[in-house]
Structure 1
Amino acid sequence: MLSQPSNKYQAFPQINLPDRQWPSRTITAPPRWLSTDLRDGNQSIIDPMDAVKKNRFFDLLIEIGVKEIEVGFPSAGATEFDFIQGLVRSGKVPLDVKLQVLTQSREDLIRTSFESVEGAHSAIVHLYNAVSPAWRNIVFRMSKDEVRNIAKTGAQIMRDEAAKRPDTDWHFQYSPETFSTAELDFSIAVCEEVMGVLQPTPEKPIILNLPATVEAATPNIYADQIEYFCRNLPNRESAVISLHTHNDRGTGVAAAELGIMAGADRVEGCLFGNGERTGNCCLVTVALNMYTQGIDPGLDFSDIDRVIETVEYCNDIPVHQRHPYGGELVFTAFSGSHQDAIKKGFAASETQNDALWRVPYLPIDPADLGRDYEAVIRVNSQSGKGGFAWVLEQDQGLKLPKKMQADFSRHVQHLADDLGRELDAHDIWGAFQNAYHVQTENKHFQLVDYEESRASDGTRIFAGTIAVKGEEQRVSGRGNGLISSVLSTIEESFGLDLQIRDYTEHALGSGRDARAAAYLECEGADGATIWGVGIDEDVATASVRAVLSAANSAVR
């Protein structure tokens, strides 16, 4: 890299718009959406989609609610033309959906484009030519008048071709390509020339698409460009202002959002932002950003994993695991502090009478996108006690006391360090069983059976059989309650002195088949804290097992 990049690159100039209005505006309604997946997205992949994939993608776009779909570049070749014409003839295009085709401003290409959608109920023909200085001076070596004449001539051909096919409801779209790096007044002049030919009205407006063909500035400058254009375009009420942002600087979504605030009516892009170079505007992100602000975007991503599956199959490009909303890991926390906050957020949402979504670190409820909560918190060596506690609760229904979470965390940490990988629910449950001798056979003390009775003085008597290293032994003890009588039995029969600090229990599940979990915090003879856990169909037996769990830990 250069030590003085200013010798080679220069800052993009500001737009002279001192009274700009867009910064104080808020998006309150969704724009019109146009998917360019079958055209812009298709052009950008190594192996373009065949008819099977294109049809599958088209069906997906219809299903999620896209009403305007750019289905191809019909003059590019027979594959494109045949797919588009086949789609028209198939009868599967809903009446409220408009097909759009793209064409350069050349008579033969425009004519081919009209032929490809001939017979459609409704169609948009999208005409474009580049207008910026770099393209005028370097690529085409044309004057401004010559560039303006290309656009005007193309518009005349569009008008005439549409008149030959009155059975289709024709709509016109014009793009001053490379708008983002062109002079604003010249872009307006070219669009005004096209409008003069096509004579749009408020009832039948033209679509003027203003592409950031190459994203060359910060999103606020693009918003300034859009607001300036909207303010100064003659007959603005007869035009739908459309955005087509690219992502060269990584802000294609932001540019589209600010462009809407600046007065645009429509957004073009691809699902998950596929497109040339770094891609273009991600419709999923823009739509779900609106959704998290309480706006119905008019697009349905309630089964986002199936959308991803189709997009990945058709494009043969994976959706990145950190892609907003759709990525495999975007709703997943490994960090201990994040896990703790999320866990508390879910707990609060269950107890508070508040319909608003307020879970920390999760801007959207994963369930709204068809995701479950099992993968929200995942455990590795970076995780804290809240992480594995969440996994145990989701997987086994166990709600560990807070102090017990701290005790178990050292077991989980050691296991994660030893394995050097993420721990799944099976790993964590296994570690829990081993740490607290839950439902395992290799125990020092194993409950075989027991009876509980009440003495004449009101004390409780525990009498039962406990296997000690596999050898069954009859034991008994007395106490104020069941747990104290078991503790007395353990002390009298085996010499273990355990004192109760705390006891909690809860149901596992609901209904007649619900089990119980009991947690016992004890203090050993040396003052150390010892935890016991018991799980059983019977709550009393669960507490007995919790005492024996603590006893097993004490003799380890």
Structure 2
Amino acid sequence: MTSFDHTKYRAFEPVAIENRTWPDQEITSAPIWSSVDLRDGNQALVEPMTVEQKKQFFALLVDVGFKEIEVGFPAASQLDFDFVRWLIEENQVPDDVYIQVLTQARPELIERTYESLKGAKKAIVHVYNSTSKTQREQVFRLGKDGIKEIAVKGAQCVKEHAAKHPETEWVFQYSPESFTGTETDFAIEVVDAVIDVWQPTPDNKAIINLPATVEVATPNRFADQIEYFCRNVKQRDSMIISLHTHNDRGCGVAAAELGLMAGADRIEGTLLGNGERTGNMDVVTMAMNMYSQGIDPELALGDMDRIISVVQACTLLQVHPRHPYAGELVFTAFSGSHQDAIKKCLANQTDDKPWDVAYLPIDPRDVGRSYQEVIRVNSQSGKGGVAYTLEQEYGLALPRWLQVEFSPIVQQFAEQDGGVVNAESMKGLFESRFMTGDKPYQLGKYDHAKDDVDTVHAELNSDSGVINITGTGNGALSAFSEALGKHFGMRVDIIQYQEHALTVGSDSQAIAYVQANIDGDRFNGVAIDSDIVSASVQALMATVNQKILQNTDANVA
């Protein structure tokens, strides 16, 4: 027997449910959201949040739009108690926000919990006890009746203390902790007993929270449990069914989504998924999943960088660069084919069309990101990414034939450098390779005359002095190519030409791209000038310079 032995584990025993309906349901609206960052998320930190960090985090949760925020376990922590008092005494809780506090179903803890809440306008008292078979048998060593009695006495105590403070709008919440590890019929029995104590109504509902304290099965099995519970519990119309999933199997979001389809009304989770072990359900991911399907998540997640900044500062945990919707690289394409597809789709996308861009499930701008972050160039990238970067950063709309020529140069540089090629480095490579109109020859004065044919008289400056050349042709560029060819003893044929404006206004500049076949070899030249004709002849000069340097190198060799 090896240490890696699957036979010591047992498969989850699913709930027996017939004619399940949840697979045919669709999520069409946002649930009630409850943040547990300040309680469940906080207790999972190596270094729990300070009061100041909690204040900062609470402000973020309010700004994001949570109307129910679990702010701590005041009966178990003096720091939590003091924070709850600060929220109330300093009037930090908006009128439409419920603060929620957690307590075990123990009288002395419930009493202390209510002390922390004195003067609150709206509060949810969340009481729990564990009901799972494992906990009953191995931790508490109690039978089912003993576990149910704990829940009932806790519910009675919660109700009695609330009656002493009628100035507060109270909502009661009960969790059969480790619901997924509890026989579903027994969980229903316990909840029915709690509801019998509280006597909620359709107009004054109680929250019944069903936690996957540990995720023990596939999400569809969890959905079966939720649908079975909703079908069989008494007074379903007087309950808000809440889910609190964890991520032990990596399916916390999926389980919450399917649970919502199975009849739940409310979701507890944390921003970006911090929580015990592998984490709590990630509210950002679930909410953005809805958003990507055209559903208003009723949370303001447009400033993702602020959310990340506050969460990281308060939890001291870094957000993974591939974290859904929030990570630094989630909208970034390195693959050449992906970059090309994104570039083409973005060119077709307009504000009056539904979002439909390859590889991008949402518009990065919706979460405060820019298109410059979408495409990054490394050794795996292709011409689309290179072209996109130069156009976005510098306005250089490279023609396709020049993209084909330039992308291998960038790729080779990336392979040697071993990382991402930033826009500045890319521009430097581009200029050194194609904007070569100054060495060894640079265009000086030139005159373009147009009659039956175009005639160009030009001066070329070099380290050896000034050279005068003349040529004729159909257009200035053709005439200049003939002048260069005659003087240097070359055949210069222009194959490709493209131009566009770089800027607008009185001081606008233009860029010209030229590809020329010079004695059987192809060269590409680029030049920028305030005059488009001047830019085009300088770009052609750049191609001839490249040929001259090539011949010089060959002769030296």
Instruction: Measure how far apart 1:14 and its partner are.
Output: 2.3
Instruction: Measure how far apart 1:6 and its partner are.
Output: 4.4
**How many residue pairs align between the two structures?**
549
Q: Please give the residue correspondences for 1:287-366 in structure 2 after superposition, counting only pairs within 5 Å.
A: 287-350=287-350, 354-366=352-364
Tell me, yes or no, if the aligned pair for 2:387 and 2:403 is still in contact at 8 Å: yes
- TM-score (ref. length: structure 1): 0.96
Instruction: Measure how far apart 1:509 and its partner are.
Output: 3.6
Instruction: Measure how far apart 1:32 and its partner are.
Output: 0.4
Instruction: Measure how far apart 1:513 and its partner are.
Output: 3.8
Change (3 A) 1:2 1:213: farther
SS in 2 for 1:463: strand
Q: Please give the residue correspondences for 1:3-402 in structure 2 after superposition, counting only pairs within 5 Å.
A: 5-350=5-350, 354-402=352-400
2:302 alignment partner AA: S
Instruction: Name which of structure 1's ranges 80-89 and 497-506 shifts more when overlaid on structure 2.
Output: 497-506
Q: Distance in 1 between matches of 2:2 and 2:234?
A: 45
Instruction: Measure how far apart 1:396 and its partner are.
Output: 1.1
Structure 1: which 5+ residue stretches go unaligned?
none
SS in 1 for 2:500: strand
Aligned to 2:424: 426
Q: Please give the residue correspondences for 1:356-505 in structure 2 after superposition, counting only pairs within 5 Å.
A: 356-437=354-435, 443-455=439-451, 458-469=452-463, 471-505=465-499
1:129 alignment partner AA: N
Across the aligned residues of Structure 1 and Structure 2, the Cα RMSD in angstroms comes to 1.5
Instruction: Measure how far apart 1:166 and its partner are.
Output: 0.5
SS in 2 for 1:74: coil
Tell me, yes or no, if the aligned pair for 1:38 and 1:71 is still in contact at 8 Å: yes
Change (3 A) 1:416 1:104: same
Q: Distance in 2 between matches of 1:2 and 1:44?
A: 32
Tell me, yes or no, if the aligned pair for 2:15 and 2:184 is still in contact at 8 Å: no
Q: Distance in 1 between matches of 2:210 and 2:283?
A: 17
Tell me, yes or no, if the aligned pair for 1:437 and 1:552 is still in contact at 8 Å: no
SS in 1 for 2:373: coil
Aligned to 1:514: 508
Instruction: Measure how far apart 1:410 and its partner are.
Output: 1.9
Q: Distance in 2 between matches of 1:46 and 1:318?
A: 13
Instruction: Measure how far apart 1:13 and its partner are.
Output: 1.7
Instruction: Measure how far apart 1:373 and its partner are.
Output: 1.1
Tell me, yes or no, if the aligned pair for 1:334 and 1:379 is still in contact at 8 Å: yes
SS in 2 for 1:295: coil
SS in 1 for 2:466: strand
Q: Distance in 1 between matches of 2:411 and 2:480?
A: 32
1:330 alignment partner AA: V
Instruction: Measure how far apart 1:368 and its partner are.
Output: 0.5
Instruction: Measure how far apart 1:356 and its partner are.
Output: 0.8
- Residues 256-285 of structure 1 show CA distances to partners (whole Å, capped at 9, x for unaligned) of 111111111010000000000000100000
Q: Distance in 2 between matches of 1:470 and 1:505?
A: 32
Change (3 A) 1:414 1:6: closer
Identity of aligned residues (%): 50
Q: Distance in 2 between matches of 1:469 and 1:392?
A: 33
Q: Distance in 1 between matches of 2:405 and 2:216?
A: 54
- Residues 437-482 of structure 1 show CA distances to partners (whole Å, capped at 9, x for unaligned) of 25x85x2222223222223xx2112222222346332322221101
- Does 1:538 find its partner at 2:534? no
SS in 1 for 2:526: strand
Instruction: Measure how far apart 1:344 and its partner are.
Output: 1.1
Q: Distance in 2 between matches of 1:257 and 1:530?
A: 57
1:529 alignment partner AA: R
Tell me, yes or no, if the aligned pair for 1:68 and 1:100 is still in contact at 8 Å: yes
2:47 alignment partner AA: D
Structure 2: which 5+ residue stretches go unaligned?
550-557
2:290 alignment partner AA: M
Q: Distance in 1 between matches of 2:184 and 2:503?
A: 65
Q: Distance in 2 between matches of 1:15 and 1:273?
A: 28
1:395 alignment partner AA: E
Change (3 A) 1:462 1:525: same
2:444 alignment partner AA: V
Change (3 A) 1:100 1:302: same
Q: Distance in 2 between matches of 1:356 and 1:55?
A: 39
Q: Distance in 1 between matches of 2:507 and 2:469?
A: 30
Instruction: Measure how far apart 1:3 and its partner are.
Output: 8.6
Instruction: Measure how far apart 1:537 and its partner are.
Output: 2.0
Q: Distance in 2 between matches of 1:26 and 1:115?
A: 42
Tell me, yes or no, if the aligned pair for 2:435 and 2:539 is still in contact at 8 Å: no
Q: Distance in 2 between matches of 1:470 and 1:35?
A: 76
Instruction: Name which of structure 1's ranges 191-200 and 513-522 shifts more when overlaid on structure 2.
Output: 513-522
Aligned to 2:541: 548
Tell me, yes or no, if the aligned pair for 1:496 and 1:551 is still in contact at 8 Å: no
- Residues 100-121 of structure 1 show CA distances to partners (whole Å, capped at 9, x for unaligned) of 0000000011111111121111
Q: Distance in 1 between matches of 2:466 and 2:114?
A: 90
- TM-score (ref. length: structure 2): 0.96
Q: Distance in 2 between matches of 1:393 and 1:41?
A: 43
Tell me, yes or no, if the aligned pair for 1:273 and 1:280 is still in contact at 8 Å: yes
SS in 2 for 1:75: coil
